[in-house]
Amino acid sequence: MTTTTSSPTPETPETALTQAIPKGYWQDANGALIPLAKIKDIDKARHRAVTLMVDQALKMSTTLAQFKAAALAEIEAFVQLSAAEYDTKLGGKKGNITLVSFDGRFKVLRAMQETIVFDERLQVAKSLIDECVHLWAKGASKNIQALINHAFQVDKEGKVSTARVLSLRQLDIQDDKWSQAMEAIADSMKTASSKAYLRFYQRVEATGEYVAIPLDVSAT
């Protein structure tokens, strides 16, 4: 029996990974070789339809990635051009930017989202807060204790919620040890990553409102 690694034909479907498959066979999801004669026509048709759509989706995904990179570069170039008007240069790519066309018809928004993580000093903060709760035991509100316990709960990946931890800093509690804990939380915060999001808008003349131009296939 001879093996071939040929381009896709009606008998040999295109797969993500090119591999040697005997002529007259298809490989199933478990890696088993199935004779074409044993595969139902509806299964063949489904495979071809899915393969075709995913192939097109992969090409579109690459195009969108290239477009995003070009658009971000265009925005950054314009920001530096604008800064040059005042004989200055901006450092880094942080901060949200909104650009509007001269006629007001279009708007482009670059939004930066940072992922915040905490280092070992978060545990120091938790220890200091536990001391506070212990000292306040008789007069401490059960709601505050529940809030603190909730703030330090971890998810399935062992991570705490940034929003919940930071919500503790909004509590107006006048206590030196509590202040130390809040300082420890602030010192423990680190930016792990920063991701840029692009959104494009077109103005509806009848209402004057801006409507997002969908680039997500599920939203079109």
pLDDT by residue (tens digit) across 193-216? 788 899 999 999 999 999 999 988
pLDDT score of 25? 95
Q: What is the pLDDT of residue 167?
A: 83
Contacts of 185 (CB under 8 A, 6+ apart): 118, 121, 122, 125, 165, 166, 168, 169
Does residue 135 surpass a pLDDT of 90?
no
pTM of the full structure: 0.62
Average pLDDT over residues 34-59: 96
- Answer for the pair 144, 171: CB distance below 8 angstroms, yes or no: yes
Give how far the C-alpha of residue 95 lies from the chain's centroid of Cα atoms, to the nearest Å: 17
Provide mean pLDDT across the span 143-162: 74
Residue with the two structure tokens 């990553």: 193
CA–CA dist 215, 220 (Å, integer): 7
pLDDT at position 11, please? 44
Looking at residue 3, its pLDDT comes to: 41
Task: Write down the pLDDT at residue 137.
Answer: 67
